[in-house]
Chains A and B, each alone.
Chain A
Amino acid sequence: MRPSRSLRLPAVVCALLVVATLAACGSGASDAPPPDEGGEALPAAELALVAYSTPQEAYDEITGAFRKTAKGRNITFTRSYGASGDQSRAVVAGLAADIVAFSLEPDMTRLVTAGIVAPEWNAGPHKGMITESVVVLATRQGNPKKIKGWADLTKPGVEVITPNPFTSGGARWNVMAAYGQVTKGGGSEADGVAYLKSLFRNVPVQDDSARKSLQTFTSGKGDVLLAYENEAIFAQQKNQPLDYVVPDSTILIENPVAVTKSSKHPEQAAAFLEYLHSPEAQAIFARNGYRPVVDASSTRELPQPSGLFAIADVEGWPAVTKKFFDPAGSIMADVEKGIGVSVGG
Chain B
Amino acid sequence: MGRGPGLGVGVATLWLSLVVLIPLAAVTLRAGENGWGGFWAAVTAPEAASALRLTLGAAVVVSIVDVVFGTLVAWVLVRDHFRGERVVEVLIDLPFALPTIVAGLVLLSLYGATSPLGIHLAYTRAGVVMALLFVTLPFVVRTVQPVLAELDPEMEDAAASLGAGRITTFRRIVLPNLLPAISAGAALSFARAISEFGSTVLISGNLPFKTQVAAVHIFGQIETDNVTGAAAVSTVLLVVALLVLVALDLLSRWGAKRA
List the interface of chain A (C-beta within 8 A of B): 1, 83, 85-86, 89, 164, 166-167, 204-208, 216, 219-221, 340-345
Number of A-B contacts (CB under 8 A): 63
Majority SS of interface residues in chain A?
Answer: loop
Interface flags for B86-112 (1: CB within 8 Å of A; 0: not) read 100100000000000000000000001
Least distance between B55 CB and chain A CB atoms (Å): 16
User: In the bound complex, do residue A220 and residue B123 qualify as a contact, i.e. CB atoms below 8 Å apart?
Assistant: yes
Residues of B within 8 A of A220 (CB): 112-113, 120, 122-123
Asked if B226 CB lies within 8 Å of chain A CBs, one says yes
Tell me which of A86, A205, A216, A343 has the highest count of chain B C-beta atoms within 10 A of its own C-beta: A205
Residues of A within 8 A of B206 (CB): 205, 207
Residues of A within 8 A of B229 (CB): 342, 344
User: In the bound complex, do residue B221 and residue A205 qualify as a contact, i.e. CB atoms below 8 Å apart?
Assistant: no
Asked if B247 CB lies within 8 Å of chain A CBs, one says no
Residues of B within 8 A of A167 (CB): 223-224
CB-CB nearest 10 A-B residue pairs: A344-B226, A344-B224, A340-B46, A220-B113, A205-B207, A342-B47, A167-B224, A86-B223, A208-B223, A219-B113
Q: How many residues of B contact A (CB 8 A)?
A: 27
Distance, CA A341 to CA B210, complexed state (A)? 12
Q: List 25 A-B contacts (CB under 8 A).
A: A86-B223, A164-B224, A167-B223, A204-B207, A204-B210, A205-B205, A205-B206, A205-B207, A205-B208, A208-B224, A216-B205, A219-B112, A219-B123, A219-B205, A220-B112, A220-B113, A221-B122, A221-B123, A340-B208, A340-B209, A341-B208, A342-B46, A342-B47, A343-B224, A344-B224
User: In the bound complex, do residue B223 and residue A83 qualify as a contact, i.e. CB atoms below 8 Å apart?
Assistant: yes
Interface flags for B49-78 (1: CB within 8 Å of A; 0: not) read 000000000000000000000000000010
Distance, CA A166 to CA B225, complexed state (A)? 10
Distance, CA A86 to CA B227, complexed state (A)? 13
User: In the bound complex, do residue B226 and residue A342 qualify as a contact, i.e. CB atoms below 8 Å apart?
Assistant: yes
Least distance between A319 CB and chain B CB atoms (Å): 22
Residues of B within 8 A of A204 (CB): 207, 210
Residues of B within 8 A of A86 (CB): 223-224
Residues of B within 8 A of A206 (CB): 208
Residue of B nearest to A85 (CB): B224
Asked if B184 CB lies within 8 Å of chain A CBs, one says no
Interface flags for B13-48 (1: CB within 8 Å of A; 0: not) read 000000000000000000000000000000001111
